[in-house]
Amino acid sequence: MTKLSVNINKIATLRNSRGGNTPDLVQAAVDIQEFGAEGITIHPRPDERHIKYQDAHDLKPIITTEYNIEGNPIPKFVDLVLEVKPTQVTLVPDAIDAITSNAGWDTKTHLNFLTEVISEFKRNDIRTSIFMDPDLPLIEEAARTGADRIELYTEEFARQYALGNEKAIEPYVESAQLATLLGMGVNAGHDLSIDNIQFFAKSIPNLLEVSIGHALIAESLYLGLQNVINMYKYKMQ
Among 50, 66, 151, 190, the active-site one is: 190
> For residue 159, which phi and psi values (nearest 5 degrees)?
-65, -45
C-alpha atoms less than 13 angstroms from C-alpha of 19 in its C-beta half-sphere: 0
Given the residues 66, 70, 151, 209, select the one marked as catalytic. Answer: 70
User: DSSP H helical segments within 189-224, as ranges?
Assistant: 197-203, 214-223
Rounded to a whole number of angstroms, the distance between the first and last alpha carbons of the chain is 7
The beta-carbon contacts of 177-183 under 8 Å, at least 24 apart in sequence, are 177/205, 178/136, 178/139, 178/140, 179/139, 179/142, 179/143, 179/149, 179/150, 180/205, 180/206, 182/139, 182/140, 182/143, 183/143
What distance lies between CA 178 and its chain's CA centroid?
20
The secondary element (H helix, E strand) that includes residue 209 is: strand 207-212
| Residue 57 annotated among the catalytic residues of the structure | no
CB 32 within 8 A of CB 211: no
Nearest alpha carbon to residue 34 among 62, 76, 10: 62
Distance (Å, whole) CA 216 – CA 17:
19
151 included as an active-site residue: no
Angle of CA points 152, 153, 155, to nearest 5°: 140
Q: Which residues are catalytic?
A: 43, 70, 190
